Amino acid sequence: MGSQKKRKRKSTGKWHKWLGLGFSFFILIFAFSGIILNHRKALSTLDIPRSWLPKNYQYTNWNNASVKGSLKIAPDSVLLYGGNGIWLTNANLSSFKSFNDGLKKGADNRITNHIIKTDDNLLFAVTTFDLYQYDNRGKQWISFSDKLNTPERLVDIAYHNDSLVVLSRSHAYISLSPYNTFEKVTLQLPKGEKHQVSLFKTLWTLHSGELFGNIGKFLIDLLGVTTIILCITGILIFISPKLIRKRRKKNLSTFGFIKLLRRSIKWHNKPGATLFFLLLLLCLSGMFLRPPLLISIIYSKHHPLSFTTQDKKNPYHDKLRSIRYDHYTKDWLLYTSDGLLAYKELDSSPLKVENTPPISVMGLQVFEQKNSTEWIIGSFSGLYIWNREQETSKDYFTGESPQPTNPGPPIISNPTSGFSSDFTKDITFHYFNGAQSEMSIPAMPPEIKHANMSLWHISLEAHTGRIYTFLPEIVIVLFIPITGTLFLIILISGYIVYRRRYRKRL
C-alpha cells in the first residue's frame, strides 16, 4: 500500500511539472492578455503593426471589419467608416483621403460605429469611446464627449427632426439643436417583462471581475499577476537544481542559486495555495464562455445579483447595441442583447418586435432602412432583407427564407461586417472575404491597408486562441476547453503536491 501511495504522489508531481512546463507559454499569454483586456480604455492608444501578425489579420479587399458603413455627404463625396477609421472617397471609389483629423490616436479609438448628418448639415460620429462633431472651418472632428459625461462605451447615434440620440451600452442621451446639452434617459422594459440577466453575461463579468466593479477587476489583475509569478517560479524551480549540480561539479559557489531556488519555491507555493480556489473559479468561468460548455448556459437567465454591478434599477445595463428611427412607422427601433424593441417615444414602454431575421450574439453590424417596409439587417449570422410590415425575412443574396436555428452555440454563416448603398451598386462587406458588389471594387490604398491593430484586439485574439493560426482548425475551435482542462489539471495537481510535500514543513 505504501509503495502504491508513493507512485501516486510521484505521478501527481509529474503531471504538475511536465504539464506546467509544456503549457507555461500559453498560460503566460492568457495572463498577460487577460490583464490588458481589463484595461481597454487606458491602453486604447497602443497599437501593433498588422505586418507582425498572421496572414488572417492582414487587410485584403476591405475585409476584417475595415468598413462598417458609409454616408454620402455630397453628390461626389462619400465617407467610409468602420474598424479602420473614417475615409473620404468619391462616387466610384477611385480616390481616398483620411478624414480622421481630430480623432484620438490609436486604432481602438478610431473604430467608428456610425456617422449621421443632420438637416442643417452637421456631421456627428460615434467611436468606441467618444462622440464627435465635424468642424467644417477647422476641417477636423471636435470631441463632444464631455457633454455626455459618461465612462461607458458608446455604440450608436441616430437623428430625427432636431433630436440627436447617442446610445451608450446602458443609456440613451438625447439632445436638441444646437446640441449643447444631453439628457440621460434610462429605457423601459416592455410591459409585463421581468428584469433579468443572462447567465452568460454573469459568467463573462465574473471572469473579468467587472461583476464586482473596480475591486473585482483589481482582483482579476492580481490573479493574472499571480499566474505569471507561478509560471516564472515554476520554470526556475525546474532549472535551478540542474544549475546547482553543474556548479558543484565545477567546485563553484552555489549559494546564489540555492537562495534563488528557495525563494522560487516560496513564491510558487504561497501565492498558488492562497489563491487556489479563486484561480479555479477564474479558469472554470472562462471555460463556460466558449463551446461546448457554453451550450449549457447560453439561454439561461436569472434575476440580477445583489451587491454586484447587476444590482441596478436600469433593466438595460450593458445591453444596448443599436438604434434607428423608422421614418414611415414613426417610431424608434432599438436593438439590445435581448432582441429588437420599438419605442414610440424613448421615455415610453416599448413593444417587443417579433419575427426578425437571425442576428448573431456578436452584434448587429448592418441596420439600414431600405424603403417604407424593408430593412437591411446584417450580422455574423448573415445579411437579410426584413419586411417589417409583413414580418418576413429573406436572404439578401439568395432570396430564400432563413432556416430555423437549433439551440446551441452561435453559428457563423456568411459573416457580414458592413454594407453600403451610397454607390452605383450596393456593396456588402464579408468579414473574411471583404467587399462584394456588382460594381468594380478597387484595391485598398496602402495607407488604409497597412493600418495598425489595437493591442486590446490582439490580446482578445490571443486570449481566445484564435491568434494561434499554426494550430489545426479543430484545436483552435476547442482551444478554450482544451487549455482550460489542462490548466485545471495543473492547478489541482500542484495544490495536491503542496498539501503533501510542503504544507507541513511551512
Question: Is the model's pLDDT at 316 over the cut of 60?
Answer: yes
Q: What is the CATH number of domain 60-195+315-449?
A: 2.130.10.10
Instruction: Give me the numbers of helices (H) and strands (E) for the chain, helices first please.
Output: 10, 27
Q: Which whole number is the average pLDDT over 396-422?
A: 81
Q: Which whole number is the average pLDDT over 178-195?
A: 95
Among residues of the chain, what percentage have pLDDT more than 90? 89
Question: Is the model's pLDDT at 257 over the cut of 70?
Answer: yes
Q: Which whole number is the average pLDDT over 168-173?
A: 98
**In this predicted structure, what is the pLDDT of residue 9?**
66
* b/e map 66-95, b = 16+ CB within 10 Å: bbbbbbebeeeebbbbbbbbbbbbeeebee
Going by pLDDT thresholds of 50, 70 and 90, the confidence category of residue 411 is low
Question: Is the model's pLDDT at 408 over the cut of 60?
Answer: no
DSSP 22-72: HHHHHHHHHHHHHHHHTTTTTTTT-EEEGGGS-GGGS--SS-TTS--EEEE
**In this predicted structure, what is the pLDDT of residue 506?**
47
Question: Is the model's pLDDT at 137 over the cut of 90?
Answer: yes
The total of other beta-carbon atoms located within 10 Å of residue 218's CB is 13
**In this predicted structure, what is the pLDDT of residue 362?**
85
Query: Using CA atoms in the order 218, 110, 336, 217, what is the torsion angle rounded to 10 degrees?
Result: 0
Higher-pLDDT residue of 28, 502: 28
Higher-pLDDT residue of 124, 360: 124
**In this predicted structure, what is the pLDDT of residue 409?**
54
Question: Is the model's pLDDT at 10 over the cut of 80?
Answer: no
Question: Is the model's pLDDT at 407 over the cut of 60?
Answer: no
Among residues of the chain, what percentage have pLDDT more than 70? 95
| pLDDT tens digits along 362-376 | 889 999 999 999 999
Predicted TM-score of the model (pTM): 0.93
Going by pLDDT thresholds of 50, 70 and 90, the confidence category of residue 213 is very high
198-203 contact pairs (CB < 8 A, 24+): 198/298, 198/300, 198/301, 198/337, 199/297, 199/300, 199/301, 199/302, 200/288, 200/289, 200/294, 200/297, 200/298, 200/300, 201/318, 201/337, 202/302, 202/305, 202/310, 203/285, 203/288, 203/289, 203/297
Q: Which whole number is the average pLDDT over 139-160?
A: 96
Going by pLDDT thresholds of 50, 70 and 90, the confidence category of residue 12 is confident
**In the chain, which residues fall in CATH 2.130.10.10?**
60-195+315-449
Task: Tell me the C-alpha distance between 353 and 329, whole Å.
Answer: 13
Task: Tell me the C-alpha distance between 262 and 402, whole Å.
Answer: 63
**In this predicted structure, what is the pLDDT of residue 413?**
73
**In this predicted structure, what is the pLDDT of residue 504?**
55
**In this predicted structure, what is the pLDDT of residue 500?**
85
| pLDDT tens digits along 431-446 | 999 999 999 999 999 9
| pLDDT tens digits along 53-95 | 999 999 999 999 999 999 999 999 999 999 999 999 999 999 9
Question: Is the model's pLDDT at 4 over the cut of 70?
Answer: no
Contact 12, 486 (CB under 8 A): no
